[in-house]
Chains A and B, each alone.
Chain A
């Protein structure tokens, strides 16, 4: 990270190029900001003003009102705050957990050497298949899981050790990252059934666990590249001084990697904050998150644009802070290590 960063720009621009650049930048800024402006304006309108055709500027061609805001914050009150709280709790918890598990795995894949035997993997997959088959055939799940585990251990000690071909760290990493290819819709029904059996449907736990699983691949992928840019000498010194692996990871690696951790955390948090499809399947009333609340404003009488605008706006507000933080890390060239090809 010590090499010079192009952050100052190279040379003064000629006036013509300066004007052209500002025109282009301003044009796209308008494209980005106008929809947001329209949200703000719509949230200040009454239903009649929305339905009778467009009006653009408050105080000029219509009288703004805080009716929609008042309705959502005071009349509905808990029906607005509960999803908000859910979103905050689920977003933060799942992102912290994904970051913790993912950072450990990414570090392990960079610094340790793994060589899982192909035979062992084959045995494992076979046992999972058998247990799943038993489950679908109506065997109660503790029995299926127990029998599968027992079979796995027995086979591992016998057949599992016979095959010499082994996979490496890169294969494990590729496998983990490739889980991101999995369309959520392909796994959501079994996950639904799983949480239903465990009695966890419509709880925050169900969503937290699911988001951790969907976000882990991206955490491992970003942090693996980031950790590999950290010089090994630091850790070697600590090891010579007698620090344990955990101690090295906690007191040396993590503090050095804070910028990468923050950037990754923000990416993951934004995903969990905005996710809709999985939340739709796994929560209904108690654990409802904000995207669901937004969609719920599409009532039988058509979309309630004014309420929707308020909800989308209060979802965006905390995220603007994140955009500023992310930009700061980018401009210091910190993400570069994490995304090199």
Chain B
């Protein structure tokens, strides 16, 4: 790949300091490292990073694609990969791994049908509105249709898994982790950030303390919560005893175990939301706030009218990051519950890891590709559909 470089042009995404992008003439001059050095500078700056990412992301990704289309077999004297086409994906979606991946789906009861019907109607209305909107092009409409289809599919998974006798698979469990985790982390992080921007003696102490969980290895957090939730040896044992739950273990009840994982995840990642929102709040312009105070606005009014619009752009980026990172959750369920009881707390990454451990390399790669597909769709849909709405007209 060759990059055509025009050295005399200014920055494309100039920062706020450059309202009118002035051409930045960085002319080759006498003091270059070697003759003609500045002409290759553009490549010297960019290519090392591109190369590292290419070699360690793109190349492995292509090999993984091949792995997901093949079966790993041990043969005398070594191993080989036999090409099997879509078999691994078929197993996941329709075959023996279906219950593990998609969940055990039962025909929904009346309430389930109502939820599903309502969801589909809402999606159809949304699509119809987009179709009549002249600003939406054919490509955008196709993308929206795909999103609506996938959303309806996920809703069906949700309804089916929560019908009597059904249970969610690793795909839905991961989505639950991300949804519940990100919502709770954002709410808590915002609350704490607002509290610590107040004029309080000792708030720096609180800020440092609140940052700590983010800095601890997820594996350590997993074991820590395993200690804490232990009903026999954990610190809350008297409490469990009082409630008559000594023989009960969080980790043997599917929802108890999932809640434990979510609590651990919230404990660990609330600090990330907190620190970024804190920075956003601290960077807010003071003058309008002071003017509002002088005019006698209540704290709630100030928050709604000034603070909230100011932090929405940061919030939208922040939530995107946490969604992307949240889908990769693996250490916590692996350590805390070992994915159990059964497969109740398995996330997609853990599913792929367990498949790898049992030498099902093709199946593992197929699950990983499934995860990549979900993350990409959610990420792109968020960037194109949710974020503009948040940032443009608050």
Is the pair A128, B59 in contact by a Cβ cutoff of 8 Å? yes
| Contact, CB under 8 Å: A316 / B215 | yes
Q: Give chain B residues whose Cβ lies under 8 Å from the Cβ of A42.
A: 227
- Inter-subunit contact B5/A114 (CB<8 Å): yes
What is the CB-to-nearest-CB distance from B260 to chain A, in angstroms, rounded to a whole number? Answer: 13
Contacts of A89 in B (CB 8 A): none
A292-320 residues with Cβ-Cβ distance < 8 A to B are 294-295, 298, 303, 305, 308, 311-312, 315-316, 319-320
CA distance A273 to B216 in the complex (A): 9
Nearest CB in chain A to that of B299: its residue: A17
A143 at the interface (CB under 8 A from B): no
- A182's partner among B22, B57, B219 (CB-CB below 8 A) is B57
Contact B371 A185 (CB under 8 A): yes
Q: Does A333 contact B (CB under 8 A)?
A: yes
Q: A113-B9, A270-B215, A324-B208 are in contact. Are A180 and B3 (CB under 8 A)?
A: no
Does chain B have a CB within 8 A of A156? yes
- Chain B residues near A284 (CB, 8 Å)? none
**Which chain B residues numbered 318 to 372 have a C-beta less than 8 Å away from chain A?**
318, 324-325, 327-328, 330-331, 335, 348-349, 352-353, 356, 361, 364-365, 367-369, 371-372
Q: How large is the interface on A (under 10, 10 to 19, 20 to 34, 35 or more residues)?
A: 35 or more
B331–A341 CB distance below 8 A: no
Q: How far, in angstroms, from A194 to B218 measured CA to CA in the complex?
A: 27
In the assembled complex, which residues on chain B have CB atoms less than 8 Å from the CB atom of A109?
Answer: 46
Other-chain contact of B38, A31, A244, A331 (Cβ < 8 Å)? A244
Q: Is the CB–CB distance between A13 and B18 below 8 Å? A: no
User: What is the CB-to-nearest-CB distance from B318 to chain A, in angstroms, rounded to a whole number?
Assistant: 7
Chain B 278-319 interface mask (CB, 8 Å, partner A; 1/0): 111111111101100100000000000000000011111110
User: With A and B bound together, what is the CA distance between A125 and B394 in angstroms?
Assistant: 41
Chain B residue at smallest Cβ distance from A9: B199
Task: Give Cα distance in the complex from A174 to B82, angstroms.
Answer: 35
Bound: A273/B64 CA distance, A: 27
Inter-chain contacts of B316 with A (CB < 8 A): 341
Contact B3 A54 (CB under 8 A): no
User: In the complex, which residues of chain B have a beta carbon less than 8 angstroms from the beta carbon of A21?
Assistant: 195, 198, 200
Closest to A108 in B: B45
* A243–B31 CB distance below 8 A: yes
CB within 8 Å of B: which A156-215 residues: 156, 160, 166, 168-170, 172, 176, 178-191, 193-194, 209-210, 212-214
Q: Please tell me if the beta carbons of B48 and A104 are within 8 angstroms of each other in the complex.
A: yes
Shortest A18–chain B CB gap in Å is: 7
> Given the complex of chains A and B, what is the CA–CA distance between A255 and B235 in angstroms?
49
A56 and B328: CB pair below 8 A? no
B18-77 CB contacts (< 8 Å) to partner A: 18, 22, 24-33, 37-38, 41-42, 44-46, 48-50, 52-53, 55-64, 66-67
Contact B25 A331 (CB under 8 A): no
Question: A273 vs B15: C-alpha distance in the bound complex, in angstroms?
Answer: 32
Contact status B330-A327, CB under 8 Å: no
CB–CB A101/B48 < 8 A = yes
A114 touches B2 (CB 8 A): no
Partner of B282, one of A33, A101, A235, A336: A336
Using A38-B227, A108-B45, A323-B208 as known contacts, say yes or no to A120 and B1 having CB atoms under 8 A apart: yes
The answer to whether A190 and B63 touch across the interface, beta carbons within 8 angstroms, is yes
How far is B26's CA from A107's CA once the two chains are assembled, in angstroms? 14
Residue among B7, B49, B60 having the largest count of chain A Cβ atoms under 10 Å = B49
Most chain B beta-carbon neighbours within 10 Å: one of A129, A170, A311, A341: A341
With beta carbons under 8 angstroms apart, the residue of A107, A181, A290 that contacts B372 is A181
A327 to B18, CA, bound (A): 29
Q: Which A residues from 208 to 229 make CB contacts under 8 A with B?
A: 209-210, 212-214, 216-217, 220, 224-225, 227-229
Give bound CA distance, A213 to B312, whole Å.
Answer: 30
Cross-chain contact of B45 among A35, A107, A182, A339 (Cβ < 8 A) = A107
CA distance A330 to B13 in the complex (A): 25
The answer, yes or no, to whether B234 is at the interface (CB within 8 Å) is yes
Q: Does B212 contact A (CB under 8 A)?
A: yes
Which of B16, B226, B286, B312 has most A Cβ within 10 Å?
B286
Question: Is there a chain A Cβ closer than 8 Å to B211's Cβ?
Answer: yes
Residues of B bordering A, CB below 8 Å: 1-7, 9-18, 22, 24-33, 37-38, 41-42, 44-46, 48-50, 52-53, 55-64, 66-67, 81, 188, 191-192, 195-200, 203-204, 206-220, 223-228, 232-238, 267, 275-276, 278-287, 289-290, 293, 312-318, 324-325, 327-328, 330-331, 335, 348-349, 352-353, 356, 361, 364-365, 367-369, 371-372, 375-376, 379, 391
Q: Which 8 A/B pairs are nearest by Cβ-Cβ distance? A: A341-B313, A9-B199, A228-B15, A336-B283, A190-B60, A213-B56, A108-B45, A105-B49
19 A-B pairs besides A32-B213, A53-B233, A112-B42 with CB distance below 8 A are A10-B290, A32-B210, A56-B235, A114-B3, A182-B372, A183-B328, A183-B371, A194-B59, A220-B49, A244-B33, A245-B37, A274-B215, A277-B330, A305-B227, A305-B233, A319-B216, A327-B207, A327-B208, A341-B391
What are 16 A-B contacts defined by CB distance under 8 Å? A3-B285, A5-B283, A9-B198, A25-B196, A25-B203, A51-B233, A115-B3, A176-B49, A187-B60, A189-B63, A216-B52, A239-B27, A245-B26, A246-B32, A323-B211, A327-B207
